[in-house]
Amino acid sequence: MDNIVLENISPRYFTPKNITQSEIWNRDIVFSKGDKRLIIAPSGSGKSTLATAMLGMHFQYEGSIKYGQQPVQKLHLEEIVENRKQGVSLLFQDVRLIKDLSISENILLRVFNKDRKSFIPVMEEYASRLGIEGLLNKKAENCSYGERQRSAIVRSLINPTHFLIYDECFSHLDLENKKIAFSLINEVSHNSGSSVLFFELNEFPFEHDYQILHL
Q: Which domain holds residue 155?
A: 3-214
How far apart are the C-alpha atoms of 204 and 7, rounded to whole Å? Answer: 27
Domain count across the chain: 1
Give the percent of the chain with pLDDT over 70. Answer: 100
- Whether residue 169 is predicted with pLDDT greater than 80 in this model: the reply is yes
| Per-residue pLDDT, 117 | 92
**What's the pLDDT at 165?**
98
| Residue 1: per-residue pLDDT | 86
pTM exceeds 0.85, yes or no: yes
Specify the range with the lowest mean pLDDT, choosing from 14-23, 53-62, 141-150.
14-23
Domain of residue 76, CATH code? 3.40.50.300
**Helix or strand run (H / E) with residue 142:** none
Mean of the per-residue pLDDT values for the chain? Answer: 96
Q: 106-130: per-residue pLDDT in tens? A: 999 999 877 899 999 999 999 999 9
In the chain, % helix, strand, coil (3-state, to 5) comes to 40, 25, 40
CA angle at residue 2 from 40 to 16, to 5 degrees?
30
Residue 44's pLDDT is 87
Residue 100: pLDDT above 90? yes
Give 210's contacts (C-beta < 8 A, 6+ positions apart).
36, 37, 38, 196, 198, 204
Helices (H), 113-144: 120-129
